[in-house]
Amino acid sequence: MLATAQISIWHWAGFIAVILIFLALDLGVFHRKAHVIKFKEALIWTFVWFTTAMLFAGLLVPWRGREESLEFVTGYIIELSLSMDNVFVIALIFSYFRVPLSYQHRVLFWGIIGALVMRGVMIGVGAVLIQRFHWMIYVFGAFLVLTGIKMLFAGDEGVHPEKNPVIRLVRRLFPVSSEFNGQKFFTVLNGQKMLTPLAIVLIMVETTDLIFAVDSIPAIFSVTTKPFIVFTSNVFAILGLRSLYFVLANAIGLFRYLKVGLSFVLVFVGVKMIIAPPPDVEVLSWFHFKIPTSVSLVVVAAIILLSIVISIVTAKRKPDSVA
């Protein structure tokens, strides 16, 4: 068996550089001009990003081993699943601010840039906390269980920009125009530079992702605490979020039970984190069970697929109940 290659700073730099090249091509070549992203185009890009993620998982096998590759896939599925709830909230934000379809991709693009930075910082902090204070794994686990239960019984709160403290602060510090200026985030009116409503939408998307990241980052720590695997699985999930949005946004009503499925996913990974933490974390020897990564992957995938199937079947039987 080949020795596992060590992850160096050059691997981190190389991965980030490749992602930045992909993003530059995305904005500068494929989506240089604002246009409406249709379902077929979004479906193709969703397939491209998913295939790229699976290819990366395949490269991990000879480089880092089968188990680490499986950890990446499991983390990717968890992050992508939890991102689906984020998709529906973003759809509500776009609808509330009446963002034209042709401008939505630009907001999502820059939103992803911010999400990559924020999640990178959160992953680093989370990994350090767990390595220095091993009991934090139980705190994260309990937090996920409580969050999952809360999500199960919580109703749809809608979009309330006036309750967002970041939006309130921005409005106090900067003037905001009442009209869009194409897909620009700034405009000049009467000689005064102002933010456009699209900038406010971007801030809403960023803060929304930050809130969701508070759930999703601890969730992946139930699988592994290796920073490189946690970060790369998050990156691929976020990159696929844009195209996934355009695939799912027009079919929100078909996924009425998806949030129920996501709540069960959070509870499952939270319980797993408590009773079966990742093998790379020192835990209480008298309270530790072994749940293989492959089992976690199957359970999470089964919960999500079951919730989607039940949602679609229910929607077809009761079409009037679809929002």
Please name which of 235, 211, 223 lies closest in space to residue 90, comparing C-alpha atoms: 211
Which range of 58-67, 89-98, 117-126 scores highest in mean pLDDT? It is: 58-67
Tell me the average pLDDT across 154-162.
67
Tell me the average pLDDT across 207-229.
85
Residue 168, C-beta contacts closer than 8 angstroms, at least 6 positions apart:
162
- 175: exposed, middle or buried (Cβ count in 10 Å: 0-12, 13-18, 19+): exposed
317/149: higher pLDDT: 149
The pLDDT mean for the chain works out to: 83
How far are the Cα atoms of 45, 152, 259, 309 from residue 322, in angstroms, in the given order? 27, 19, 15, 14
Tell me the average pLDDT across 122-139.
84
DSSP 87-133: HHHHHHHHHHTT--HHHHHHHHHHHHHHHHHHHHHHHHHHHHHHHH-
pLDDT tens per residue, range 219-236: 888 888 888 999 999 999
For residue 260, give the amino acid letter.
V
The pair phi, psi for residue 230, each rounded to 5°, is -60, -45
Give yes or no for residue 1 having a pLDDT over 50.
no
User: What pLDDT does residue 31 have?
Assistant: 61
Tell me the average pLDDT across 69-86.
88
Tell me the average pLDDT across 133-150.
87
User: What pLDDT does residue 252 have?
Assistant: 67
Give yes or no for residue 214 having a pLDDT over 60.
yes
User: What pLDDT does residue 282 have?
Assistant: 61
What global pTM score does this model have? 0.84
Give yes or no for residue 171 having a pLDDT over 60.
yes
pLDDT tens per residue, range 295-306: 888 999 999 899
**Where is average pLDDT lowest: 12-16, 99-103, 184-188, 245-249?**
245-249
Please name which of 77, 7, 50 lies closest in space to residue 244, comparing C-alpha atoms: 50
Please name which of 78, 96, 101, 84 lies closest in space to residue 252, comparing C-alpha atoms: 84
Q: How far apart are the first and last CA of the chain?
A: 54
pLDDT tens per residue, range 242-296: 788 887 766 666 777 888 888 999 999 999 888 877 766 665 545 567 788 888 8
Tell me the average pLDDT across 49-59.
94
Question: Where are the domains positioned within the chain?
Answer: 37-321
**Where is average pLDDT lowest: 46-50, 77-81, 96-100, 251-255?**
251-255
